[in-house]
Every structure is written in C-alpha cells, then in structure tokens.
C-alpha cells in the first residue's frame, strides 16, 4: 500500500507542477495579447496625430490664402509689410499647432509602447516564475516522499 501511496503522491506532484507551468504560459499569452493591443493603439495614436497635423496644415494654407486675397482686394500688395507680418504670424501659429499635434501623438504612442513592453516583461516573468514554482512543487513532493517513505 505504501508503494501505491508513493505513486499517487508523485503523480499529484507532477500534475500540480504541470498546472503551474500551464498557468504561467496562459498568463504570458494574455500579456502578449495585451501588448499587441497596446502596439496597435500606439500606431493609431501616431496616425491620428499625423492626420490632425495634416488638417492643421490645410487650414493654415487656407488662412494664408485668405489673408493674401483680402490684402489684394483692399489694395495692399502681397509684399506689403503688414501683409507679410500677418502671413508670417499665421504661418508660425499653424506650424506650432502642427508640431503640438505631432508631439501629442508621439507622446501617447511612446506611453503605449512602454506599457506594451511592460506587459511583455510581465509575461516572460510569469513563465519564469511558473517554472520556479513548479520546480519547488516537485522538490517539495520528492522531499515529502523521502520523509514519508524513507
């Protein structure tokens, strides 16, 4: 009967170790999936910021065109100092807004990429920790067998 108990104890230890490893792998898969989602979000943030910057550039061109058209309609020339000052300021402001849009998208994307890398690290760590826990379970089971069955 002692031999059967030892076998059952050994099988129980092995099943527990296998379950621990499987749980670690499942945790890694979940972390990798989350990381992939974060990577997609980062790309989306960059694309959205780029689109916003393009829209700002379009509005800037329209605004500059309007300034020149109004200047021409009022009798000023395109090289009039006032018109040049207005177009220069409008161009600077538009460029500033474009850069802010791009920066915002890049900052968001960088945060998401960092979160994705953190998820990947947690996944790798989960597998490693599961291996250590499984080894501990096996050693504990074997130790218990020696203690109980000599």
117 contacts 34 by C-beta, under 8 angstroms? no
pLDDT value at residue 71:
86
Closest CA to 119 of 18, 25, 16, 28: 28
Q: Considering the entire predicted model, what is its pTM?
A: 0.72
Look up tokens 């990577």; give the residue. Answer: 39
Q: What is the pLDDT along the chain (150 residues), one digit of tens a residue?
A: 567 777 788 888 888 999 999 999 999 999 999 999 999 999 999 999 999 999 999 999 999 999 888 888 888 777 888 888 889 999 999 999 999 999 999 999 999 999 999 999 999 999 999 999 998 888 888 887 777 766
pLDDT value at residue 120:
95
What are the tokens at 103? 């920066």
pLDDT value at residue 92:
95
Residue range of the domain that includes 103 = 2-149
Closest CA to 49 of 100, 111, 114, 113: 100
pLDDT value at residue 104:
95
What are the tokens at 18? 């296998």
**53: CB partners within 8 A, 6+ apart:** 98, 99, 101, 102
Number of domains in the chain: 1
pLDDT value at residue 1:
59
pLDDT value at residue 80:
84
């Amino acid at each position: 009967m002692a031999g059967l108990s030892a076998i059952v104890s050994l099988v129980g230890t092995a099943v527990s170790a296998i379950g621990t490893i499987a749980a670690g792998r499942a945790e890694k898969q979940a972390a990798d999936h989350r990381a992939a989602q974060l990577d997609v979000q980062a790309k989306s943030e960059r694309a959205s910021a780029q689109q916003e910057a393009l829209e700002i550039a379009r509005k800037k061109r329209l605004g500059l065109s309007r300034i020149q058209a109004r200047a021409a309609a009022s009798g000023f020339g395109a090289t009039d100092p006032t018109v040049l000052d207005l177009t220069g300021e409008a161009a600077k402001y538009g460029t500033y807004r474009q850069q802010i849009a791009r920066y915002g998208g890049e900052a968001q994307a960088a945060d998401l990429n960092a979160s994705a890398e953190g998820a990947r690290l947690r996944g790798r760590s989960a597998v490693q920790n599961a291996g250590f826990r499984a080894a501990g379970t096996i050693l504990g089971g074997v130790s218990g067998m020696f203690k109980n069955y000599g």
